[in-house]
Amino acid sequence: MFLKDYFVTIYKSVGSLLKGMKVTGYYFTHPKEIQTQEYPDNRATLQMFDRFKGEVVMPHDENNEHRCTGCQACEIACPNGTIKIITKQELQPDGKKKKAIDTFVYHLELCTMCNMCVTACPSDAIKMAQTFEHSVYDKRQLKKVLNAPGSKLMEGVE
């Protein structure tokens, strides 16, 4: 009885080990199962998902106009002080003064890509870009000004 158990154990153990080797052997002989993406080489074909949160950008149209009114909703919504908006008073043609953005500072190094600023924005002025290669040698380069120089508020955006 003992001997029978002994040999049954050996038989079963060897069987289970061979099963494992069958799996690895299968993948060894089927190179088409390889999952590796050769990343820097496939840059040209690499397509990120359109919702991927890479960094915050402010789209400008062809007249160098953006939609940011300087309401600072995103600055309030941001959990870690990534966004700083400096506003100025702009003189309107009718003589009234109106609040407008001077610089929209975005600290990429602080950003957690939580998307809260984008959802908070009432005028769709900012959105998430799909870029992801953000590494630089100096962290000062991560401090970005999102409004392009000389840009102004789009007509009709309040």
Interface residues with other proteins (CB under 8 A) are 10, 12-13, 16-17, 19-25, 27-28, 31, 33-36, 38, 49, 51-53, 77-79, 112-116, 119, 128
CB of 150 to other proteins, least distance (A): 31
Q: Which helix (H) or strand (E) holds 14?
A: helix 2-29
Q: Compare residues 26 and 145 and give the one whose CB is closer to other proteins.
A: 26
Q: Compare residues 56 and 151 and give the one whose CB is closer to other proteins.
A: 56
Q: Which residues contact 59 (CB under 8 A, 6 or more apart)?
A: 66, 67, 127
Cα gap 111→74, rounded to integer Å: 12
CB of 37 to other proteins, least distance (A): 9
Please check whether residue 78 is in contact with residue 105, taking contact to mean a CB–CB distance below 8 angstroms. no
The token pair at 81 is 């002080």
Please check whether residue 109 is in contact with residue 148, taking contact to mean a CB–CB distance below 8 angstroms. no
CB of 112 to other proteins, least distance (A): 6
CB of 92 to other proteins, least distance (A): 27
CB of 125 to other proteins, least distance (A): 17
Cα gap 16→20, rounded to integer Å: 6
Q: Compare residues 76 and 148 and give the one whose CB is closer to other proteins.
A: 76
Q: Compare residues 18 and 86 and give the one whose CB is closer to other proteins.
A: 18
Q: Compare residues 51 and 96 and give the one whose CB is closer to other proteins.
A: 51
Cα gap 128→132, rounded to integer Å: 11
Please check whether residue 25 is in contact with residue 17, taking contact to mean a CB–CB distance below 8 angstroms. no
